[in-house]
Amino acid sequence: MKHFSFLALSSLALALSVGCSAAPGTGDRDSGPVDPVDAFVPMSDAGPGDACGNGLDDDMDMRVDEDCTCSRGDRQRCWPGDPALAGIGACGWGTQDFVESGEFGVWDRCILFGQPAEEICDGVDND
């Protein structure tokens, strides 16, 4: 039992000592420059279109619910990046409002969302 405790404490100490000091590009998701794969990179094999009403950019074209209708006064949360990263770390939800467009209303662009940035070792996955 003592051997296990020593190994567990040693591993914990090593993990805490590395923390945000890992060198850029070493695979640590909380260090280094912004990873272009983290968000805002359209994928060529994305699906055919957005699923209406979920506030995500399902087809990864940086537009949220662009072919979906809505009603006067509607507002939804939105995220124009990789759907898998919505609401994680600095990748916070934004808002999207109804806008008049011809016979039907459509969703305006997504605003006020959190974007990935350089890692600053603040305990949040900024990138």
Q: 74-85 pLDDT, tens per residue?
A: 999 999 988 888
Largest CA distance in the chain: 73
pLDDT at 55: 92
To which residue do tokens 């296990």 refer? 4
**Calpha distance 75→96 (Å, rounded):** 6
Give the tokens for residue 106: 């459509």
To which residue do tokens 């000592």 refer? 17
Which DSSP symbol is given to 34? P
Q: 18-72 pLDDT, tens per residue?
A: 333 333 343 334 444 444 444 443 333 334 678 898 999 998 888 999 889 899 9
